Structure formats: C-alpha cells, structure tokens
Chains A and B, each alone.
Chain A
Amino acid sequence: MKEVKLFLGPQHPGMHGNYSVHMYVDGDIIKKANPMPGMLHRGFEKLMERRYWMGNIALIPRICVVEPDINEMVYAMGVEKLAKIEVPERAHWIRMIILELARLAIHLMSFGGIGGPTGLYTASYWSVADRDLILDIFEKITGARVYHMYIVAGGVRKDLPKGIEEEIIKFLDYIETRFPEYEELILKNPIIHARLKDNILLPKEVVHELGVTGIGMRSAFNKANDIRKVKPYARYDQVEFDVPFGPYSDAYTRVSYKLIEMKQSVRIIRQSLEKMPKEGPVRVSYSTGNAIRWTVPSGMVYPVIESSRGEYGYLMVSDGSDKPYRIAVRGASYPQGLLGVEKYLPGHRIDDASIWMATMDVCAPEIDR
C-alpha cells in the first residue's frame, strides 16, 4: 500500500491558526504526522529584549491571539515580582474580571469551535456572536476589542468606566440563559456524541510523558490541578469556584469541561464585582522617572497562571536595565501541539485530525512564538 501525503493546514478551515501538519495516510488512517510550525514565528522572545519594559505591552498580547490577556497578566506579575511591588487591591479584582471575561471568550470560541471539524456550524455562529458581546465590554473598559494592552505592571492602565458593572452583569445574565441552549445544541447532539465519545483518548501516562496541563491533565488525573486553586494569584483565593476533574479523558469530556469552566467563570466575575473595593488606586509605578527610563531590578522569576489551555508562564530575566534581558515563553499547548501531534496523532483517522487539534487545545502562536 502506498502512503499518501496530505497537508492539514496552514490554510485548512479545520486547523487552529497558521499551523500545518504533514500527514502520511494509508487509506484513512494516519501513519505518520509531522508538525510544521514556523508560519507564525515572529521572534517574540528576541523582540522583547529590544523594547522598553513598558513598550512590551503592545507586543506581548500578540503571542496568543484569542486570549491576549494572559500574556499581559504573566508579564505584569513577573515585573511586579522583580520590582517587589504590591498591586493596589482594586487592581487585583479588575484583573480577575478581565481574565475571567477572557476565559469566557476563548472557551466560547473553542467550545463553539468544535462545530468546525464536526460540521455543526450553528455552534460556531452562535459562539462567535456571543463572544462579540464580551469584546464590546472589553472595548468599553480598555479601548480596544482584541489586544487590550490593559493589564500593566503595577496594576491596570485605567480605572473601570462608570456603569460598566451593570453592563457586565447584564451580559452574564444573558450568557447564563444561553448555556442550556449550548448544552442542547452541542453536548446533547447525537453527531457530536458519535464523533467525540470514546474518541481521542488522553491517558494518564501520556499526560505525564508530554507535560500536558489544564483541562487535559485534570480530566485524566482526577485531580483539581488548577493553578488558580493550587497557587492562587490575584485574588482567586478569596472567591469560590469549582474546578471540573475526572479520571477518564476523551474528546467529549474535554469539550464538556469547557462549558463547566465557563459557568464557573461567570460565578467568579459575579463575586469579584461584589467584593471589589469600589474606590481606590488602580496602578502604582514600579520605577522612577518616565516610561522610557523605567528599570526593573535584576533577577529571575517564573510567574505562572492558568490559561484556558493550561499552565502559562514566562521565565523573565532582568539585568537591571530599561529592557528585559531575556524572556522565555512557556506556551501551554506546546507539549501536545508539537510533541503530541508527532507521537499520538498517528493511528487516528483523517477526519478526526482536526478534532484532535481542537480538543487537545492546540494554539499555534504560542508554539511558534
């Protein structure tokens, strides 16, 4: 039997981002898979070394397109750790609201995005339209829809605009009425069941071997290994929320966990709006002088947060100058997106390849950086 080489991506609608997998297929079974990153390589880590500490906030969100705020948060946490400054209380809560809204947005996109590879396009249409409402809120808070550049070292860039709390609550009420609809449409759909149930398994050993984190890890390990619980940052230790976990990880479980996490995010945002101090400063300066001459004390830190795909962190090194000495990005989907594709995609069928990509949460830009 002769093998045929098929390209999945970078121009394939079932592919996540500008990423490509060269698949050698025999019939409809994938025999060998070569991940081909590099279409998105923009040299972030090097570019960051050539920009001021403050100037980097325009560059950093671009590492992950659909969930830019995690980058800003990690970067800000790193600088704060290096400079040993304490962020104002109100800023912590604002950051949590932003981060959870961002989690909602990306989960909506990937939860609805499962409609792409399975042919259930209604799901994608709905989720993208609902996500737009979150972008409207972001626009009101930060002044931009996608790349917010809002969470900066020392707090947030501007205080919340007046009356935004009501708008957020209005949106949360709306999205909560939508959750049953999504459940009906996606999780109870026979086609989804047929395609996702007991398919694309992620055993415990593989999680160990690759270093998968996030939903993949929790659904296989039966442990609530969520950094927001294990190693709380911002004010996650002061809000109540549950983390879904289980012992058996197939594609269906991983998709359904996203809906559960969305519901929890809504809970967190509601609590944050309640517990947040209504007044007070939202930013402190971490250095003297103007932004061109802000320096960060020398040192090395690894701040880490829970993104929608797992553990997301930067290794940040400063030599005390006005620019970072080295920043290395630990993309959450690096293990499964690069090593996992090569090793565990073979054996699946061609038509499951893009489902594999979607439910394993492969995000191309954070692999390429």
Chain B
Amino acid sequence: MAKDKSVFSPIGAWKYLTKKPVTIPKTLVFDTPREASDNYRGFHINDWDKCVGCGTCAEICPTNAINMIEIPTLEQSKGNKPERPAIDYGRCSFCALCVDICTSDSLSMSKEYIHLSKDADTFYFLPEIDGIHEIEYKDGYVRDEVSELLDLERYKMDEIKHDGRAESFMEIIKGYSKEMAIAEASRCVECGICTFTCPAHMNIPEYIKSVWTENMEEGIDYLYKTNPLSNVCGRVCTHTCESACVIGNRGKPVAIRWLKRYIIDNTPKEDFERVVLSNVSEKINGKVGIIGGGPAGLSCAYYLRTLGYEVDIYEEKPLLGGAVRYGVPEYRLPEESVKEDVEMIRKMGVNFIVNTKVGRDISFDEIKNTHDAVFSGTGNWIPKKLRVKNVDHPDIRFAAKFLQESRDYSRNLGEMPEFEDDLIVIGGGDVSFDVARSLLRLQTIKNGKTNIKFIARKPSQFLACDPEEFEEGTEEGLKFHLDRSPVEILIDDNNKIYGVKVARCTSVMTESGKAKTTCTDETEEIYAKEVFMSVGSDPDFEYFTDEIIDNLEISRNKIKVKEDGQVEGYPWLFAGGDITRGPDIITAVADGHKAAMGIDEYLYNKAKNKN
C-alpha cells in the first residue's frame, strides 16, 4: 500500500492551501462569542418573583453547588421562604437537574457561557432574572414535560361514589392503601414551607418521610409533637399546608391531610399508645383548670400533662371534643376518630368533668381558687344572625343546635331531629355545607328524596368553603342559588315561614379588594317551609366574673391575648381557640399548645420567685 504512492501524491495536499482554518482566534472568542445552541446549559437565571425559596434545587444538586441564602429584604409569607439559591460555579457541573426539578418554574439556564475573573468570589453567584453579567442573553435550557422530575399528579383517593352516598352518615373518604400512601409521600420535596404555614407548625415533611420510609412509630411521634388531635385533623383539618405546598405551584399539592390520616389509621393500636403515653411525665405540684373540652382545651391539657401538671377539664356537654364532637357531621369525621383522640388524652391522666357548665354548675371563682392557672377555650356557640327583615322569627333554625342534634342521632344517642321536606339553607362556609349535607342525608333516610335550596352571597369560586364541599354537595343534589343576598324572610298571615326574598349580587369585593357585597334591586322569592341559617357564630363570655369581663379587651368578639394566650392583666388566665383566633381546629390546637407552654412558664417563674 505504502509503496503504491506516486511521487506526485504530495500535490494532492495543495487543495488545502485555499481552505480557511477552523480555529477561532482568541480575540474573536471574547469579543463576539459563538452563540450557543437553543437548549444550551449555560449560567443560571432565576426569576425571583416566581421563586419560593423551597431549596429543592439545592437538595437534588449532585455536586452540592447550590446553597440557599437568606435574603434579608424578603419576608416570609405563606408558601414563600425568604431564601434564594446561590450557585458556586467552582462546583457546578451544569447538569440542569435543578432546572428540571424547580417547583416554581423560576430557574432556567441562559446561553451565556464565558466568565473570566481573577477573583474566585465572583464564581459564587446569586442568580437573578438578568444572569451573571447582567447582559441580555437568550434563554437556553428550559424544562419541558419530558425532562420533568416532579410528580405533579396526586394519587387518587378512594371515595364512596356519590350515588347512594347520601343515604347514610358513612365516611366518604376511604383512606389510602399502603402503596398509594407511599407513592403520595414520595411526591414531597421536604422543603418545609408547609410547616411555616400550618398554624400548629406541624413537622409535616418529617412525618411524610416517615410514611415513605414506612416507619409509622416515628410518624406518630412527629404528629404528637405538635398535635394531639391528629386523628381529627387527619380528616377535617382546613389544610392550609396544602394550599402552601410548593408542588401546588405547578401541579396538585401533596395530600398532606390524607397522609396524616394514613399514619394514624395504620399504626397498630398498642404501638400508638406506647408512643403517645411515653410522653407523659411524673406528676408535679401544679394544677390547671381548663374550661371547655374542645380542640384548644384538649390540646392544652395534653401538653400540660406531658409537662407533669394535673389537669381538670370542665365540659358542659356529656362528651368531650367541642366542635369536633358536636359540630362536624359524621360522614366527614367518624365518631371513632374523635373518641380515640379523646380516650388517648384521658389515658394520660387528665380529669374530665363533664355535664358541668361553668357559670351554671360551678362558678368561675371556684375554679380559679382551686387551680394555679386557668385556660379558657369555650369557642363560639351563639349563632350570628343576618341583618334582614323578620330574622327574629322563632322558627328559623341555626347551625350549632341542629348539628348537635344530627350528630347525636348519627351516633345513636338521640332522636332524629325534626325538619320539613322542603328547606332553605343560608350560608356559604364549611359549616353551612355541613348543615345542608346532613339535612340531605336525613331527608334521604326519612323520605328517600331530597329538596334543599342553598343560598349564598358569593359565586362558587369565592365561597368560603373547601372547594371539595361544593363539588360533593353538587353531586349529592343540593340546589344552589348563588350570587343571592337574602333581604327578607317571608312570613305568611299565619306567622309561618314560606320562603326567602333574595336580591341578586353583582360583586362581593370592592376594587381595593375589601369584602363588600353590592346588590341590584332585582329581587326574587325562593319558597320553602323552613329556613336554616349558618352565617357564623359568636362566643359566650357570661361565665367570666363581671370584673374580668369589664377588663377584657374584646374586639370583634375575640379576646385580645398575648402571643402565648395570656390575658392582659390576669397572668393566671389564658385563653385560646375560637375565642381568641380562629376559626379552625388546627388553630385551636396550636393555641392550646402555646398556652400550655405559657402556663408552664408562668407557673415556673411563680414558683421560682416564691423560693
């Protein structure tokens, strides 16, 4: 082969004389760098308006190049951490996993790829919208649905199908199977933004991880650190955590509430008891009286017991649990669940004194004199009334009383409440749906058919209730009259109610975003034989002594208290739950927890100063 070459073969190489070199001169590289391809992985861009500081990019980064830096100018808010990713280009390998997993769609990469500096610190950089050198550069690598690293779809929860659902008070939600729960738990990115949002600051990422690692006892432990009513909250919490969940920025949030419920439902009873009761301390010399055995009172009692105090709970009704025992209907919260939570607290050694209304059966002073500190969590039980004509008619029914009757009926402790077969429910919040859907079930049980008209001032997307309630209510056959503001309860000559006169609403908000209903003059009449009203409720402070009532700072029916629930001017008196904040269960639980710590602090200092 080599010998075949002719003498003239070098002439063949002459054609290269006319060709240009492929090497790019150095000067050109810096002055006019070659434009990179369309999905080039260059330096990072981070849109701070979208970024929520969840830190998932830092978590996945294989080279640990990303640090979350606290930004003093940013404020922590719901669903947003005041942190932003800073990237160390000494470590970064430009793999773009951070871009693929970004929960808020804020990170991307530009086509910029040249950075020269003698100063090593410039390679550590906090990306913003304008890139590393603040020169306009085109976007390079962006995530698409193929390179997606998050799981945006929630795993479907089994429910009882809506046909036939309204025939009984069976719980609608069936709960996750093990496989489903682990799959759902694997969607969590452990950012902890939910923890900040939760009123009780529950250790949400930790217990979700316990589900994922199948370590139920650890999960229980995490739950009870901040919430002794986990069984209840796993079913009927308002789950503000889920609305803050970062997965919800682009997809459906993690089903935090159902996972909590899964832990409670799937831990063997003896393990559960062992874990919870291991928190109880030796009794110490201190006695606390708690007025009202609702979520706030129970939570306060639990944490005081873990600190070793003796606790007495005074409850006016025969059963503990307050709003969760006498308010929430059975199909959302089975009796068993509340019972378990309450029993657990009883087992810890808390004294329950039931059927005892403070101010009627026992005076407030007596409680004060026999205890070192008092916590009051009596909640809101006096129904509010709309300011419409004829609202004082005695036949109008209100939510609190009806729900108690209905709840007692469903747990076989009372008769079926009386009702007509043609009804109107006025409301719009969760409670009004509880009323309407309980009535649906009662009507079905009694007559086999339903006729319930639901009047609310707001359109469906602005209703104050959980969207699920509206959906399920529609499935079950509520007849909605939305955007209607009641103006008069219609009464005939025999002083019987025969309907409600409503005006059409045009907007429920002023332009500045304040809530204000504006209605037209156009009215219509909706007929029914009975009207249920569920538009909120007010607290009852009658049991306090007159002197305390005079000194309480009450604004908009809420007692003003310090951060830990201590009432101004009365260091031994603490309050929490719906009478101070509200209005949901988890807030009450949080208040109880805080008050327990406040009481402990107060009694500790008191004892210290004595000696």
Q: Which A residues are within 8 Å of any B CB, using their own CB?
A: 51-52, 54-59, 129, 132, 136, 139-140, 142-144, 147, 149, 155, 157-159, 161, 184, 187-190, 192-193, 281-283, 285, 287-295
Contacts and interface: CB of A to CB of B under 8 A. Distances in A.
B22 A157 contact: no
Given A58-B95, A143-B140, A289 B1 contact: no
B1 A58 contact: no
A292 B254 CA distance: 15
Nearest to B94: A144
A142 B140 CA distance: 11
Contact of A282 (B38, B100, B146): B146
B206 interface: no
B300 interface: no
> Number of contact residues on B: which range applies?
35 or more
A291 B146 contact: no
In this complex, the member of A155, A159, A184, A288 whose beta carbon has the largest number of chain B beta carbons within 10 angstroms is A288
Contacts, number: 118
Nearest to A295: B186
In this complex, the member of B41, B59, B188, B247 whose beta carbon has the largest number of chain A beta carbons within 10 angstroms is B41
A149 B187 contact: no
Nearest to A136: B37
B5 A58 contact: no
B190 interface: yes
B36 interface: yes
B183 A291 contact: no
A54 B151 CA distance: 14
A55 B183 contact: no
Nearest to B208: A293
Interface in B3-51: 4-5, 9, 12, 22, 36-41
Interface in B55-71: 56, 59-63
Given A58-B95, A161-B39, A290 B62 contact: no
11 contacts: A57-B62, A132-B22, A139-B36, A142-B39, A157-B147, A161-B38, A184-B12, A288-B187, A289-B185, A289-B188, A290-B56
A119 B189 CA distance: 56
A143 B109 CA distance: 10
A293 B188 contact: yes
Nearest to B186: A289
A144 B92 CA distance: 14
Contact of A58 (B22, B63, B151, B182): B63
B62 A51 contact: yes
Contacts of A283: 146-147
A285 to B, nearest CB: 8
B258 interface: no
A289 B140 CA distance: 27
Contacts of B41: 143-144
A12 B189 CA distance: 48
A341 B187 CA distance: 51
A188 B97 contact: no
Contacts of A287: 186
B146 A157 contact: yes
Given A289-B188, A290-B56, A291-B60, 7 more contacts: A51-B62, A55-B97, A143-B96, A143-B109, A144-B41, A288-B186, A290-B189
Contacts of B12: 184
Contacts of A291: 60, 97, 100-101, 149-150
Across the A-B interface, the 6 shortest Cβ-Cβ residue pairs:
A289-B186, A58-B95, A55-B62, A291-B149, A293-B186, A288-B183
B35 to A, nearest CB: 11
Interface string B220-246: 000000000000000000000000000
A147 B60 contact: no
Interface in B91-108: 93-97, 100-101
B60 A292 contact: yes
